[in-house]
Structure 1
């Protein structure tokens, strides 16, 4: 199976960058060899840098190194220590008088690593750490000498961090799209088989059962319910989005039965998980009232509308209906299904709930809640 992790190539590029920049550091030492105060110290520093390059190359090539931000922070600490290791080859006075820091552009490695791992904030954290270490080495009076390096590190942290965040979001969306496509293809395959077999049998049972009457009619009703359940299963869609929100429509569609119709928009209606669970509970309470009070032949309709900044949920039935006074009387008698399970939940969500009912005209609930 092809990997959909679009961030992984950035880690591979970082490994290549770290190796190449180590060779640049070696070239820098070679070109400055005659000006080194202690050449053996420079060789020791390059050896340490080579060893750490191997370590981070292995780490960033494995999932444990890519997912563990502490490894990138450790990379930052070791890199700063290597910058200080320039003192093995050059006295501090030489560095502050113009001698170069021997680690060269190799020090940008942890900046890129933190940017990939933690986005813009991680990149800025890494760049700030390296820049502070660089300014301390060259001295506050000589910071202008490293201004270009400071600017490049900060820009690299910002740009790579933004690119990594964008790429990670694209990777999540791609994974979801592939999963949705696979699920849709599987539903289509199952739909063909079910339509050619199970649904036809259920339709025949409904026709024959109604014609037989008695227990046959009861069997026909059960077959009709199973047909609705199967059709709902075949048209189901993913519940959780890439932003961690929940598609309210996907949670309400399974509530459809032979006596309950669910009408939702073609696209997702995204709300947070708590709001979604409370709205589903409200709908179940309303449907329970329909079954208990509206009459055996009553039908119910659930309609979801996606409005700017809010969701409107309508629940209507064609049952016996009642009066507003009966709702108040039920609350006074301690029957809190309407006042608490419906109105109370909507109020807790910061929304509004209105009910319209009259004897013989059914009952209609209209509820509005914010998406956030």
Structure 2
């Protein structure tokens, strides 16, 4: 995070490009394959793990004792293709979607918190029928806006759960566990970073870097704790925080994250917010992650880099059908540049994480910077193409 605020953001995901023509909660009377889902306290049982392409309905029944949600996700587990929320115990709701052939995931979320349970592969086979995207532009835009709002709520809900676990470890003095949770939990923030930045003081309270502190400003949030967790990387003379300081920082981090969760519950989006969001997320990569300035002590900048691109990909997947109608060449260029950027990131994977920024060579850093610039050029055309 830098001490400034950007418009909401959106970009593209090549891994999601097969998942086009998805219309969530469409109540059309056309024939469709019908499946059932039993969402209990500890399972999300779908009546089949594959179905033919075209219209598909899921009748979701809550047999548990908490309000639940059902999600149909893209193969990467990030983009929400369709979802139904607020299903009370004993109640049922239907999700109707139009799906192209491909690989998806199903999951339920009892209590409407966390990253979902019983996440299961779901395959859509080729029925041989053409998947016709709704020709009504307004309808396509509404689907993109609705699905992105659901994605933001889901990421922030997972951020709440992860932050609580991180803060508990930090308060208990279990620094090894806290360090292991740091980058993975922050990924949920980074995927929706430009949305979080729209809520005024919440952004600096949660994500301000020490270099951006103004005179007399209290320093709270993730990076204040980061410095304490990686003292060997801090400047000479750094003094570890006292138990009281730790408690204050952890308590504020949890409370501010809970406030963010409250704020995103009623979010709505416009197409321009999504397209401008893409530009903003890429700017976050270019000015913080590629330079190594974001995670100054942990050096986990590539985790943040990937998360920013994840969020961008989700946004782009939501508007790509619309872009194909307006400018297929621009869509093809964006697909290619996103692919190339992901190749560079994948080359730095180590287990479940990435190479530390300090272990990158100057040539590798330059390759990242060059590819971010290559993506930035076509991405900057997105809003003008779709909105103006």
TM-score (ref. length: structure 2) = 0.25
Structure with the largest fraction of helix: 1
